[in-house]
Chain A
Amino acid sequence: MRLPLHSALPLLGIPLLLVTLISLYSGALPLSLAETWQALWRQGDSTHQLVIWQIRLPRSLMAIAVGALLALSGAVLQGLFRNPLADPGIIGVSGGAALGAGLAIVLLPTLSLPWLTLGSTTLLAFVGGMLTTLLVYRLGRGPFGTSMAMMLLAGVAVGAIAFSVLGLLNYVADDEQLRDLSLWQMGSLAGASWPRVILALLMALLFWGWSQRQAGRLNALLLGEAEARHLGVAVERLKRNAILVCALAVGISVAAAGMIGFIGLMVPHLVRLISGPDYRRLLPLSALGGALLLLFADLLARQLAPPAEIPVGLITALIGAPFFIWLLHQQRGSRP
Chain B
Amino acid sequence: MKKTLVMLLALLPVLPLQAQTATESQRIISAGAGVTELIVKLDASSQLVAVDSTSRLPPSLTLPVVGYHRQLASEGLLSLKPTLLIGSDEMGPDTTLKQLQSAGVKIEKLSSRADVATLKQNIQTLGKLLAKEQQAKQLQQAVDAQITALQTGKHGLKKSPRLLYLMIHPGRPPMVAGGNTAASTLITLAGGENPAASLSNYQLLNHESLLAKKPDGLLVSQRSLQQDPKLLEHALPQMMQHPELRQLPLYPVSGQALIAGLNLGTLQAASQLQQKLLEP
Q: Residues of A at under 8 Å CB distance from B? A: 27-30, 46-47, 50-51, 54-56, 119, 174-176, 179-180, 183, 188, 190-191, 193, 302, 305-309
Contacts of A56 in B (CB 8 A): 75
A276 and B53 CA atoms in complex are apart in Å by 47
Contacts of B71 in A (CB 8 A): 183, 188, 190, 309
The 10 A-B residue pairs whose C-beta atoms are closest, nearest first, are A308-B67, A307-B76, A29-B79, A28-B79, A28-B76, A309-B73, A174-B201, A307-B66, A28-B75, A27-B75
A51 and B103 CA atoms in complex are apart in Å by 9
A71 and B75 CA atoms in complex are apart in Å by 28
A148 and B101 CA atoms in complex are apart in Å by 51
Contacts of A54 in B (CB 8 A): 99, 102
B65: interface (CB < 8 Å): yes
A118 and B214 CA atoms in complex are apart in Å by 49
A29 and B76 CA atoms in complex are apart in Å by 7
Complex contact B64–A307 (CB within 8 A): yes
A179 to chain B, nearest CB (A): 7
Contacts of A193 in B (CB 8 A): 95
A180 and B65 CA atoms in complex are apart in Å by 18
- Tell me which of B68, B78, B95 contacts A29 (CB under 8 A): B78
Complex contact B78–A176 (CB within 8 A): no
Which of B73, B78, B99 counts the most chain A CB atoms within 10 A? B73
Complex contact A47–B103 (CB within 8 A): yes
Contacts of A190 in B (CB 8 A): 71, 73-74, 93, 95-96
A302 and B70 CA atoms in complex are apart in Å by 16
Complex contact A307–B103 (CB within 8 A): no
B77: interface (CB < 8 Å): yes
**Size category of the binding interface on chain B:** 20 to 34
Which of A27, A30, A307 counts the most chain B CB atoms within 10 A? A307
Complex contact A183–B75 (CB within 8 A): no
A183 and B69 CA atoms in complex are apart in Å by 12
Q: A54-B102, A174-B200, A193-B95 are in contact. Are A307 and B74 (CB under 8 A)?
A: no
* Beta-carbon nearest neighbor of B82 in chain A: A307
Contacts of A29 in B (CB 8 A): 75, 78-79
Contacts of A306 in B (CB 8 A): 76, 79
- Tell me which of B75, B90, B96, B202 contacts A51 (CB under 8 A): B75
B197 to chain A, nearest CB (A): 15
Q: A47-B103, A188-B71, A309-B71 are in contact. Are A175 and B201 (CB under 8 A)?
A: yes
Name B47-98 residues within 8 Å CB distance of A: 50, 53, 64-68, 70-71, 73-80, 90, 93-96
A54 and B95 CA atoms in complex are apart in Å by 10
B104: interface (CB < 8 Å): yes
Query: A28-B78, A47-B103, A51-B75 given. 9 additional CB < 8 A pairs?
Result: A29-B79, A54-B99, A190-B95, A191-B95, A305-B67, A307-B66, A307-B76, A309-B71, A309-B76
Complex contact A307–B90 (CB within 8 A): no
Contacts of A302 in B (CB 8 A): 73, 75-76
Contacts of B77 in A (CB 8 A): 307
Complex contact B93–A183 (CB within 8 A): no
* Beta-carbon nearest neighbor of A308 in chain B: B67
* Beta-carbon nearest neighbor of B204 in chain A: A171
Contacts of B93 in A (CB 8 A): 190-191
Complex contact A50–B99 (CB within 8 A): yes
Contacts of A28 in B (CB 8 A): 73, 75-76, 78-79
A169 to chain B, nearest CB (A): 13
* Beta-carbon nearest neighbor of B65 in chain A: A308
A30 and B202 CA atoms in complex are apart in Å by 43
Contacts of A30 in B (CB 8 A): 79
* Beta-carbon nearest neighbor of B80 in chain A: A307
A29 and B78 CA atoms in complex are apart in Å by 7
